[in-house]
Amino acid sequence: MQALLNIAVRAARRAGDVIIRHVDHVHKLTVTAKSRNDFVSEVDRMAEAEIIQTIREFYPDHAFLAEESGSQGESENVWIIDPLDGTTNFLHGFPMFSVSIALQTKGRLEHGVIYDPMRQELFTASRGDGAQLDGRKIRVTNRKNLEGALIGTGFPYRANRRFMQEYIGMFRAIAENTVGIRRAGSAALDLAYVAAGRLDGFWELGLGPWDMAAGTLLVREAGGHVTDLDGDDTFLESGNIVAAPSKLLTSILAELRPHLPKS
């Protein structure tokens, strides 16, 4: 395994340890919503600090784009980090959350790690080197159309609730033409599941780059495609993402297109 990917794995496992140490406590918390949220963001922050510290030890000149601490440093090497993707699940003791770490070099995704600390599943990818689950090669499914497909998604939240009407149109179109839709609550893990062939495809609106970066490389290295809702490459900026094997992706885009928000 490459040195850079090795460090990312070490950082992800350490963050996973921080999360697991707190998972029972969050379940027992019987306090106000505010202090619950403070507690969760504290776990987010501790996990993120652990990741950044682990990477900095080896690569002090690299830059970071992380969900909690934002953008730090200036470098052609940028680590894109979500220390706890699926915070709402974590807060409720619903066991679907993950750590997501990607390295982008000169604007290109080079390495990605997604770690599920509950199942201790480690998804890894390096550009040109394929994708792995716990060291074994994974691939997207070979499904070519919507019939029989199992598709992951996320519901619009916060500001994106203004697109709820459009989203419901998309939801209906996909629901009526596939075997089922799953909403698990961690976009990073959803993308890892597409890479592993557990889901045939995935779409969501309004995500952050840290939700998508590692998962994007995983899906691509597992033989799948990742695009914007228009079929182009700007999803890390727009936050709107579709991931699937190539032919299935074309079918998903065709179903979503009539429901795209005008703006």
Residue 212 and residue 241 in contact, taking contact as beta carbons nearer than 8 Å? yes
CB of 258 to Ca ion, least distance (A): 29
CB of 114 to ligand 2AM, least distance (A): 11
SS3 annotation, 85-117: ECHHHHHHCCCCCEEEEEEEECCEEEEEEEEEC
- β strands within the chain, DSSP E: 63-66, 70-72, 77-85, 98-105, 108-116, 121-126, 131-133, 136-138, 150-153, 180-182, 201-204, 225-227, 241-244
CB of 41 to ligand 2AM, least distance (A): 10
Please name which of 148, 143, 138 lies closest in space to residue 192, comparing C-alpha atoms.
138
Per CB under 5 A, 211 contacts Ca ion: yes
Q: Which of 48, 211, 221, 255 binds ligand 2AM (CB under 6 A)?
A: 211
Per CB under 6 A, 216 contacts ligand 2AM: no
For 251, the enclosing helix (H) or strand (E) is: helix 246-256
Applying CB under 6 A, the site for ligand 2AM has a residue count of 15
DSSP string, 200-240: SEEEESS--HHHHHHHHHHHHHTT-EEE-TTSSS-HHHH--
d(CA 9, CA 134) in angstroms, rounded, equals 11
66-233-164 Cα angle (round to 5): 75
Q: Taking CB within 5 to 8 Å according to partner kind, which of ligand 2AM, Ca ion, none is near residue 154?
A: ligand 2AM
Q: Which is nearer to ligand 2AM, 211 or 255 (CB)?
A: 211
Q: Which of 35, 76, 108, 157 binds ligand 2AM (CB under 6 A)?
A: 157
Q: Which of 44, 48, 50, 82 binds Ca ion (CB under 5 A)?
A: 82
Q: Which of 126, 186, 240, 251 binds ligand 2AM (CB under 6 A)?
A: 186
Q: Taking CB within 5 to 8 Å according to partner kind, which of Ca ion, ligand 2AM, none is near residue 243?
A: none
Q: Which is nearer to ligand 2AM, 4 or 189 (CB)?
A: 189
Backbone torsions φ then ψ of 126, nearest 5 degrees: -130, 145
Per CB under 6 A, 187 contacts ligand 2AM: yes
d(CA 76, CA 81) in angstroms, rounded, equals 16
Q: Which two tokens stand for residue 45?
A: 């922050």
Per CB under 6 A, 199 contacts ligand 2AM: no
Stretch that binds ligand 2AM, among 30-38, 78-86, 102-110, 111-119 (CB under 6 A): 78-86
Determine whether 150 is exposed, middle or buried from the number of CB atoms within 10 Å of its CB (0-12, 13-18, 19+). Answer: middle
CB of 61 to ligand 2AM, least distance (A): 27
Per CB under 6 A, 82 contacts ligand 2AM: yes
Q: Taking CB within 5 to 8 Å according to partner kind, which of Ca ion, ligand 2AM, none is near residue 116?
A: none
Where do contacts with ligand 2AM occur on this chain (CB under 6 A)? 67, 82, 85-88, 154, 157-158, 185-187, 204, 207, 211
Please report, as ranges, the residues that interact with Ca ion according to CB under 5 A. 82, 85, 211
